[in-house]
Amino acid sequence: MATNERDQFVIEQYEQGENEMILLFAQWCLNHKLDPYKLYQEAYPNQKASSKLTTIMEDVVELNLAGDIDTFLLLEALQAYGNDDLAWIVSQYYERL
């Protein structure tokens, strides 16, 4: 595999994983009747809502159709992609549940 192909493959894999992490977050929020945009804004008050979150919100399923998402799995996924502030907010909401 050429260097450019390998680099492109790594980028695509990272983006796919990031999208899965966002989907986990959005679905976890909806499963707990929380607004993912609100939590994101609490974590990152100086940023606009993530355009990826808006796009991925189209893929979440209704509460009664969704499987349970383990909170600790979500926290690990968030932290793996450098979303420590969002992981902190999620953990705060989880404690309130």
pLDDT for the residue 62: 74
- In a domain, residue 7? The reply is no
Q: In the chain, at which residue ranges do the beta strands (DSSP E only) sit?
A: none
What is the pLDDT averaged over residues 59-81? 86
Amino acid at 54: T
Residue 8 within a domain: no
- How many domains does the chain contain in total? 1
pTM listed for this prediction: 0.85
Do residues 28 and 77 touch, judged by C-beta distance below 8 A? Answer: no
The pLDDT assigned to 68 comes to 87
Q: Which domain holds residue 29?
A: 17-96
Neighbours of 93 (CB within 10 A): 16
Asked whether residue 5 is assigned to any structural domain, the reply reads: no
At 79 the pLDDT is 96
Instruction: Decide if 82 is inside a domain.
Output: yes
Q: Residue 64 pLDDT > 70, yes or no?
A: no
For the stretch 6-40, pLDDT in tens is 888 888 988 898 989 999 999 999 999 999 999 99
